[in-house]
Amino acid sequence: MPQTPQHLIEADGLSMHYTIGSRQVPVLRDVNLRIAVGTSVAIAGPSGSGKTSLLLLLSGLERPGAGSIRIDGTDLGSLDSDGLADLRRQRVGIIFQSFHLLPSLSALDNAALPLQMAGASGAREAATEMLRRVGLGERLHHRPSQLSGGEQQRVAIARALVHRPRLLLADEPTGNLDDQTAESVRELIFSLNRELGTTLVLVTHDLGFAARCDRVLRLHDGQLHETQETQDRHEAPITGQPEARRDALPA
């Protein structure tokens, strides 16, 4: 019987660049990363530091120029595009800043998509339950244009979690929301993450949001650095009650 890996994410020597005209612009340089099963990790840094690029690599939506990534014991480099799509459908949920809901579908149909694409039975029933858990039980049949920004993001969260993924990747999930709505979405993400036992990787420039995670990593000049605040409990899994919120990161 295969052994469950201690680390859900193992990345070694990741490098990535973009080509602009005749120039190659480095984005990530020799990034190494280990994320333990069941933990929450924030990747912070200024705009343009490569946070979203790293998330795209971890999701298999982009390929690194060099290096390797293993998700839940699977080497992404060994998978073709269909294999990567299967991995995302089965084990990865993604929350985008811009929601990416299909405008012609209801909240229910948007949330059910991952299960329907995987050919799972009971997709609409599972999506209905997840939408109720995110507070949209009365909005099942509304289309995105009939929902507020916060409601659309809740649909996106339900869609990302409906198949109970091992890994949840969130890219600036509150970036397009007002402060009050953003706070309710933050609380929802962490509440569901604890409840479902999902490993969370959160990309954000919001230091207060990042500080709620078990670990905070910073991207600077294409390289990833553990903050001093989390070095002593590097890779430690969640074993008890969630920690009290920290209001700020160290300078």
Phi-psi region of 122 (alpha: psi -120 to 50; beta: other; left: phi over 0): left
Q: Residue 228: what pLDDT?
A: 59
Over the range 77-102, which residues count as b (16 or more CB within 10 Å of their CB) and which as e?
A: eeeeeeebeebbbebbbbbbbebebe
Which DSSP string do the residues of 122-152 spell out, in sequence order?
THHHHHHHHHHHTT-TT-TT--GGGS-HHHH
Could you state, in order of their start, the residue ranges of all structural domains in the chain?
7-231
Q: Residue 20: what pLDDT?
A: 85
Q: Residue 238: what pLDDT?
A: 36
CA–CA distance from 236 to each of 3, 178, 188, 241 (Å)? Answer: 19, 33, 23, 14
Alpha carbon distance 142, 108 (integer Å): 8
Which residue intervals of the chain are DSSP H helices? 51-59, 81-91, 107-117, 123-133, 149-161, 179-196, 207-210, 228-231
Q: Which CATH superfamily is domain 7-231 in?
A: P-loop containing nucleotide triphosphate hydrolases (3.40.50.300)
Q: Residue 229: what pLDDT?
A: 54
| pTM listed for this prediction | 0.85
**Cβ contacts of 242-245, under 8 Å, gap ≥ 24:** 242/190, 242/194, 243/214, 245/211, 245/212
Locate tokens 């605040």: which residue?
229
Q: pLDDT by residue for the chain (251 residues), tens digit each? A: 555 568 999 999 999 998 888 888 889 999 999 999 999 999 998 888 889 999 999 999 999 999 999 999 999 999 999 999 999 999 999 998 889 999 999 999 999 999 998 889 999 999 999 999 999 999 999 999 999 999 999 999 999 999 999 999 999 998 888 888 889 889 999 998 888 899 999 999 888 899 999 999 999 888 998 875 555 444 444 333 333 333 333 32
